[in-house]
Amino acid sequence: MSADRDSGLASCLKATLVVCGVLFVLGGAAVVIGVSWWRQNKGRLIESARSAHAQGEELGRRSDTRGCLDAAVERLRADGNLPPAVKTNLFFNACLGAARPSPGFCDGVPPPSDFLKSIEWRTRRCQELQLSPSTCGQLLAIVQTHCARAAPPR
């Protein structure tokens, strides 16, 4: 009976070692592929981010915060997938930084530190804007941060 138990433990140990080895090799391959992909695409991605930022600043100099939000929402509606949404967030953040304040833009916007109110507000606003909560929520987080910075100290 002891020999059977030892044999079972040895089999379990071998299986565990094989699984760990496979996971180690797959993890290493993922790192190599990721580094290679980054090296090939780094320049294009950085230029794309710079371009989105510059476009946001340019619009912001000619617009107000509400115009920035409207432009960002239109960009998300045109393509709300993750990579374009990241560029939209860069665009929007730069636009808000250069734009004139819009009256009432920050009314009812909870501070980012109020977690429950933030979730409720983002959910409601995303539904009103008819945007996906995943990409829209990030956009509205930028609004919250902007409004928290613009709020007078208490």
Q: What pLDDT sits at residue 107?
A: 94
Is the CB of residue 112 less than 8 Å from the CB of residue 148?
yes
Q: What pLDDT sits at residue 13?
A: 76
For the chain, what are the domain ranges? 45-150
Output DSSP code: residue 101: P
Share of the chain above pLDDT 90, in %: 53
Residue 154 has pLDDT above 60, yes or no: no
Q: What is the mean pLDDT of the chain?
A: 85
Residue 28 has pLDDT above 80, yes or no: no
Is the CB of residue 109 less than 8 Å from the CB of residue 144?
yes
**pTM over 0.85, yes/no:** no
Q: What pLDDT sits at residue 67?
A: 97
Residue 125 to residues 30, 53, 96, 139, Cα–Cα distance (Å): 38, 24, 18, 11
Is the CB of residue 72 less than 8 Å from the CB of residue 91?
yes
79 or 2, greater pLDDT? 79
The answer to which of 25-29, 111-115, 131-135, 140-144 has the lowest mean pLDDT is 25-29
Instruction: Tally the C-alpha atoms within 13 A of residue 129's C-alpha that lie toward its C-beta.
Output: 25
Residue 2 — very low, low, confident or very high, per pLDDT cuts 50/70/90? low
Environment class of 6 (CB within 10 Å of its CB; exposed 0-12, middle 13-18, buried 19+) = exposed
